[in-house]
Amino acid sequence: MRRTIYAAGVIAASLLVAAGCGSSDDGGSKSSDGGSKDSGSKSGKIALLLPESKTTRYETQDKPQFEAKLEEICADCEVLYSNADQDASKQLTQAQAALTNGAKVLVVDPVDAAAAAAIVKQADQQDVPVVSYDRLITDAKVAYYVSYDNAKVGELQGQSLVDKLDKDGKKGDIFMINGSPTDGNAALFKSGAHSVIDDSDYKVAKEYDTPDWSPDKAQEEAQQAITALGDDGFIGIYAANDGTAGGAIAALKAAKIDPTTIPITGQDAELAGIQRLVSGEQYMTIYKAIKPEAAIAAEVAYALLQGKSIDEFVTSDTDNGSDGKIPTKLFDPVAVTAENVNDTVVADGFWTVEQICTSDYAAACAKLGLK
């Protein structure tokens, strides 16, 4: 049986969207969701290298979903799993250890998009392909890239915030709590949000890039903004994910400002974030269904292990600064507010009503019809 070697990080899978499930010419049978499953194919070691654990999705969604999908299509494959705890040097060491331990494919969600090129270089020296998962590794010839349309994530966040302020008839400034400066996705979220906000009637009075996506650092940044702008000197907050949103909300509470009066964005549909949506403390989040993303990563890693074509999993290409284009699959993100929690994260089984509607949120859930 396949065994999972520990570390602490993220990725997993179970369901594969139809677009990634096309027919195969190798004569193998099909897995239950349409993905290729060939009982006569070889097994091997696949390394899963994830960036950090402060964002809860990696441990609660990505890792188990990836492992579940790989177990389904290759019961004898072995996952070498590591979490880098937001340390790029540690991630390089983990990749080196995986290669030493016989990994034939690396699936890497990079801590640092540029620094991870060293991982690809060392893997290439051993003819080991690298899948860039969720975040794009730059300046390196990776075999495949799977993620969400990250510029669109920022656009949805910015548009949701602007629309809410317009609807409420608010006039004034906002401040922005962006993601980690070493995360290439964070730059895309930021530029996508600016593409909307900069064309609106709202001025960005203060803006911060948050090292390590740390909620604690986000709280400090929000406290700085509140001090600089005054308690009534801003009308909204752009927060790049639910962790930074949580930090900003903590700063509001510390300043005796009711967070239900200040629309705040987020991302990842973390359980705490969804509960804040239900209670009104956070206005919106971005839902990125991890299951199909992790499933594609597992399917592609297995195909690469077999030396087979991955063309059926490719819908576009991406320029990451290396020679040539990177075969790519990008999923579409979804904006979630309290009004469509039931139709998105609950309908998909991402979170259950029981998980969301604990005793502290029971009354708010009842008002929304979550039961």
Tokens 């990250």: give the residue: 150
Residue 208 predicted with pLDDT over 50: yes
Residue 42 has pLDDT above 70, yes or no: yes
Which pLDDT band holds residue 324 (cuts at 50, 70, 90)?
confident
- Residue 103 has φ and ψ, to the nearest 5°, of -65, 135
Q: What is the largest CA-CA distance in the chain?
A: 67
Distance CA(289)–CA(294), nearest Å, equals 9
Enclosing H/E stretch for 174: strand 173-178
CB 153 within 8 A of CB 187: no
Q: By three-state DSSP, how is residue 341 classified?
A: coil
Under the banding of pLDDT at 50, 70 and 90, the label for residue 158 is: very high
Mean pLDDT of the chain: 90
Confidence label for 368 from pLDDT (cuts 50, 70 and 90): very high
- The b-or-e profile of 328-365 (16+ CB within 10 A means b, else e) is bbbbebbbbebebbbebbbebebbeeeebbeeebeebb
Phi, psi of 104 (to 5 degrees): -100, -10
Same fold, 4-148+289-331 and 150-288+334-368: yes
More confident residue, 1 or 295: 295
Question: What topology does CATH give the domain 150-288+334-368?
Answer: Rossmann fold (3.40.50)
Element (H, E) at 329: strand 326-331
Give the CA dihedral 341, 343, 345, 349, nearest 10 degrees: 140
For the cut 60, the answer to whether the pLDDT of residue 168 exceeds it is yes
Q: Provide the terminal-to-terminal Cα distance of the chain, rounded to the nearest Å.
A: 39
Pairing of strands 103-108, 45-50: parallel
**DSSP letter string, 46-89:** EEEEE--SSSTHIIIIIHHHHHHHHHHH-TT-EEEEEE-TT-HH
pTM assigned to the model: 0.82
AA letter at 3 = R
Residue 371 has what pLDDT? 80
Q: What is the pLDDT at residue 32?
A: 35
Residue range 340-365: average pLDDT?
Answer: 96
**Chain centroid, CA 156 distance in Å:** 15
**Amino acid residing at 58:** Y
Burial, 274: exposed, middle or buried (Cβ in 10 Å; 0-12, 13-18, 19+)?
buried
Domain spans, the chain = 4-148+289-331, 150-288+334-368
**pLDDT range class, residue 313, cuts 50, 70, 90:** very high
Residue 328 CA to residue 315 CA, distance in Å, equals: 6
Interval 145-157: pLDDT, tens:
999 999 999 999 9
What's the pLDDT score for residue 323? 82
Judged against a pLDDT cut of 80, whether residue 26 lies above it is answered with: no
pLDDT for 23 equals: 31
Backbone φ and ψ of 61, nearest 5°: -125, -60
pLDDT at 24: 34
Taking only the tens place, the pLDDT of each residue in 245-255 is 999 999 999 99
CATH 3.40.50.620 fits 4-148+289-331, yes or no: no
For range 169-176, the mean pLDDT? 98
User: What token pair was written down for 317?
Assistant: 């290409």
Mean pLDDT along residues 335-351? 96
What is the percentage of the chain residues whose pLDDT exceeds 70?
89
Pick the range with the lowest mean pLDDT from 19-33, 196-210, 352-366.
Answer: 19-33
Tell me how far apart the alpha carbons of residues 24 and 17 are, in angstroms, rounded to a whole number: 15
Q: Pairing relation of β-strands 316-318 and 326-331?
A: antiparallel
| Band of residue 6 on the pLDDT scale cut at 50, 70, 90 | very low
- The pLDDT tens digits of the residues spanning 117-150 come to 999 999 999 999 999 999 999 999 999 999 999 9
- Two structure tokens written together for 315: 């819908």
Segment holding 209, helix H or strand E: strand 203-209
Distance (Å, whole) CA 257 – CA 223 = 11
CA 199, 200, 201, 206 torsion: positive or negative?
Answer: negative
Closest CA to 111 of 54, 165, 162, 61: 54
